[in-house]
């Protein structure tokens, strides 16, 4: 068991969050560049050194230039094992982001210096707060025109409620970013640009005296602002950082690689190693206990050659050995782990062992669903809290364009529903006929339609649906609700009953006049 404790201490499992276009995916790939996992931005090392893969592995992501699906990446850095989970930035995929945040121990929040705090950033941070995750902040794109860094600090404190504690501070004006001052060591790092940022930026460290002599007004401005921060006591404080009260700030530009190494070092030095996870009863499960894990994501067809189904599981305790038999708590059935992999974007490599904090891809994971707990059949039973679902805000129905593709359509409907791409709602009396699709945002429907076409060869026609609101209910309340006009009772994939309302005001009247009926909002709380 001492091996488990030692290996867990070497793990750093973290996610990167941001609003769209803040540079999250660029930063993800620059981390891989600095860790030596890729030779240049966008080109992942392979045996032939010719394959190309990015964290945005899905075809639709590459066409649209946005992150749609969360991605797991494992790589070594400074004798530590880093598990990086890249997340979608668009609000329509906030449910997927929430699932990912349930599997990490810290978060890197990327802010676009030109845009500052945006609504999606606030929403994501609320999830971080609810999970008590420590947050490291990266002020990105400081090489372009934008807000002053001090103004960004004010936004972080006023809108997010975290006390900003800058660890590094920019030297140079927008369009002429020279480097960063490490306020903890008083060392200035000057960077040299490389072509398209595809290589590690050459760095030159120098003391403050030399920087003052060589950088002139740029250094003077940085020194004055740093003195102001000193006077405010804005120094990195581990206790308040781990408690979710302050956020260390790092400055730079992911595109040019300025400040990337400082940020990557901070993840190793500041982010916490895995801690015991609370079970469903709120009791921490010790790291040295027999192996346990929970599934936070299910994804099909990542490998087009195999068309398989992979479940991403976060190891919570004990040592995982490939081939061990684990029990799925929900079903009580054994699950063989013969095909276990570590995942690098869409690429995968067989893994023989894993420890708390690691993310393992369980291939051919038929029978595993999002939120399932797995535990070593030789150890004590455990159940971790389920992952709640977000309240859908848009609804639609779908039918195959080709009546001869009904079988493929239903297969895709089941698979994508299990993955959580959309929620699939069916009438208990009608079976497969007229399912209703529910999603947080319209873009989820676009992904759903694209994947049905590309992966299942079942192009569909999406039809708008009249529903405006949804509530969880029970069988007794459902009987009464079926008698109401404009209300339809359907069943989720997990068996839960939901009531759909064509009119929000009718829902409000029912809630006020018949409080005895079960009408619970579906939230991620």
- CB-based burial label for 521 (10 Å; 0-12, 13-18, 19+): exposed
186 is in an annotated binding site: no
278 in a labelled binding site: no
Query: Any binding-site annotation on 69?
Result: no
Tokens describing residue 175 = 């369009």
DSSP assignment string, 147-182: --HHHHHHHIIIII--EEEESEEEES-TT---EEEE
Q: What are phi and psi of 235, to 5 degrees?
A: -105, 150
Flag whether 88 is marked binding: yes
18 belongs to an annotated ligand binding site: yes
493 marked ligand binding residue: no
Beta bridge partners of 176: none
- 140 marked as part of a ligand binding site: yes
221 is in an annotated binding site: no
Closest CA to 23 of 264, 259, 253: 253
Task: List Cα–Cα distances, 435 to 406, 491, 525, in angstroms.
Answer: 13, 10, 27
Annotated ligand binding at 276? The verdict is no
CA angle 103, 106, 109 (to 5 degrees): 110
Q: Flag whether 86 is marked binding.
A: yes
Please indicate if the annotation marks 450 as binding a ligand.
Answer: no
- Which residues are within 8 A (CB) of 87 and not within 5 positions of it... i.e. 6 or more apart? 15, 16, 17, 24, 67, 70, 93, 96, 97, 100, 101
Sign of the alpha-carbon dihedral angle for 193, 197, 198, 200? positive
3-state secondary structure of 302: coil
Residue whose structure tokens are 């460290």 = 205
466 is in an annotated binding site: no
Angle at 215 between CA 213 and CA 216, to 5 degrees: 75
Q: How far apart are CA 335 and CA 292, in angstroms?
A: 12
Give the whole-angstrom CA distance, residue 193 versus residue 203. 10
Q: How many CB atoms lie within 10 A of CB 290?
A: 19
Largest pairwise CA distance in the chain: 81
Q: Annotated binding residue at 19?
A: yes
Q: Is 23 annotated as a binding residue?
A: yes
Phi-psi domain of 65 (left: phi exceeds 0; alpha: psi -120 through 50; beta: other): left
Measure the CA–CA gap between 407 and 415, rounded to whole angstroms: 12
369 is in an annotated binding site: no
Please indicate if the annotation marks 22 as binding a ligand: yes
> Is 87 annotated as a binding-site member?
yes
Residues of each annotated binding site for GTP: 18-25, 86-90, 140-143
Residues of each annotated binding site: 18-25, 86-90, 140-143
């Amino acid at each position: 068991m001492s091996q488990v404790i030692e290996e867990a201490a070497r793990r750093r499992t973290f996610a990167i969050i941001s609003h769209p276009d803040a540079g999250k995916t660029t930063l993800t790939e620059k981390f891989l560049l600095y860790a030596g996992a890729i030779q240049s931005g966008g080109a992942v090392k392979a045996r032939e050194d010719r394959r190309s893969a990015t964290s945005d592995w899905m075809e639709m992501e590459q066409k649209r230039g946005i992150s749609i699906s969360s991605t797991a990446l494992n790589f070594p850095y400074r004798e530590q094992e880093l598990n990086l989970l890249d997340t979608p930035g668009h609000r329509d995929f906030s449910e997927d982001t929430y699932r990912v945040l349930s599997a990490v121990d810290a978060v890197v929040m990327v802010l676009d210096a030109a845009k500052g705090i945006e609504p999606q950033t606030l929403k994501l941070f609320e999830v971080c707060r609810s999970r008590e995750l420590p947050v490291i902040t990266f002020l990105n794109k400081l090489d372009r025109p934008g807000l002053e860094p001090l103004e960004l600090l004010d936004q972080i404190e006023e809108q997010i409620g975290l006390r900003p504690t800058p660890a590094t501070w920019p030297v140079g004006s927008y369009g002429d970013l020279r480097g960063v001052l490490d306020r903890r060591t008083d060392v200035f790092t000057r960077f040299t640009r490389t072509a398209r940022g595809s290589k590690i930026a050459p760095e030159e460290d120098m003391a403050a005296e030399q920087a003052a002599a060589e950088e002139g007004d740029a250094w003077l401005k940085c020194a004055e602002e740093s003195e102001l921060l000193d006077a405010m006591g804005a120094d990195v404080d581990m206790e308040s950082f781990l408690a979710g009260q302050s956020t260390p700030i790092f400055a730079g530009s992911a595109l040019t690689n300025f400040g990337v190494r400082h940020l990557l070092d901070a993840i190793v030095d500041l982010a916490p190693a895995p801690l015991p996870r609370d079970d469903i009863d709120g009791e921490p499960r010790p790291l040295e206990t027999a192996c346990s894990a929970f599934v936070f994501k299910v994804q099909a067809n990542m490998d087009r050659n195999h068309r398989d189904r992979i479940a991403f599981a976060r190891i919570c305790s004990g040592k995982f050995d490939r081939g061990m038999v684990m029990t799925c708590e929900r079903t009580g059935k054994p699950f063989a782990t013969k095909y276990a992999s570590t995942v690098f974007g869409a690429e995968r490599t067989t893994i023989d062992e894993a420890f708390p904090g690691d993310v393992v891809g369980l291939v051919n994971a038929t029978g595993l669903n999002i939120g399932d707990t797995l535990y070593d059949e030789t150890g004590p039973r455990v159940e971790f809290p389920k992952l709640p679902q977000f309240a859908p805000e848009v609804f639609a129905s779908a039918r195959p364009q080709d009546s001869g593709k009904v079988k493929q359509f239903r297969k895709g409907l089941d698979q994508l529903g299990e993955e959580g791409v959309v929620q699939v709602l069916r009438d208990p009396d009608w079976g497969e006929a007229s399912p209703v699709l529910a999603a947080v945002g319209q873009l989820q429907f676009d992904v759903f339609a694209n994947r049905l076409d590309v992966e299942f060869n079942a192009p569909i026609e999406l039809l708008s649906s009249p529903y405006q609101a949804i509530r969880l209910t029970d069988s007794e309340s459902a009987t009464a609700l079926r008698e109401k006009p404009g209300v339809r009772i359907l069943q989720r994939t997990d068996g839960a009953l939901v009531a759909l309302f064509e009119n929000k005001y009718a829902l409000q009247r029912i809630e006020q006049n018949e409080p005895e009926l079960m009408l619970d909002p579906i939230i991620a709380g």
